Amino acid sequence: MTTTGSPAEPLAIGEVAARTGLSVHALRLYEREGLLVGPVGRTSGGRRRYTAADVEWLLICVKLRESGMPLADLKRFAELVRQGPGNEAERLRLLDAHRRRVEAQIRALEECRSVIAWKVGVYAEHLARGEADGLWDPTA
């Protein structure tokens, strides 16, 4: 149990990369860009030591990124958290707006999916019949 769960010991950047799926490069980028809530700890030698809380935040970041939140918004959110209590309404607004965008995106994708599925069906049918004549094909 040295590479699983939520360790009490702070983690090196490579470990964090492994468990967040971000590259070490990306991790350093995120830090430079101010996407982290607090400054990352360092060893006496200058190496980053991520706490469990850091990793947790990064995992949230990953989810938000996956769902298309731009780094700038993530940064804004991190700033709000960094500022401490008092701005929860704004945090909520930010997250909720994003949730709405995600839902819209899901709906759009579902529509795309059905268009694509239909097209796939058309091709499959023609193939099954062995006669795939010029579907949208102006040259045939």
Q: Which does 6 bind (CB under 5 to 8 A by kind): a copy of itself, DNA, none?
A: none
72 binds, among a copy of itself, DNA, none (CB under 5 to 8 A by kind): DNA
From candidates 25, 42, 47, 82, binder to a copy of itself by CB under 8 A = 82
Beta bridge partner(s), residue 50: 11
* Backbone angles phi and psi of 73, in degrees to 5: -70, -40
Does residue 126 contact residue 132 with C-beta atoms inside 8 Å? yes
How many CB atoms within 10 Å of residue 69?
Answer: 20
Selection from 44, 59, 78 nearest residue 6 by Cα: 59
What is the nearest approach in angstroms of a copy of itself to the Cβ of residue 44? 21
| Of positions 6, 43, 67, 105, contacts DNA by CB under 7 A | 43
Under rule CB under 7 A, residue 71 binds DNA:
yes
Contact partner, 138, from DNA, a copy of itself, none, Cβ < 5-8 Å per class = a copy of itself
| Contact predicate 21/15, CB 8 Å | no
Residue numbers of the site for DNA (CB under 7 A)? 12-15, 17, 22-26, 28-29, 43-48, 65, 70-72
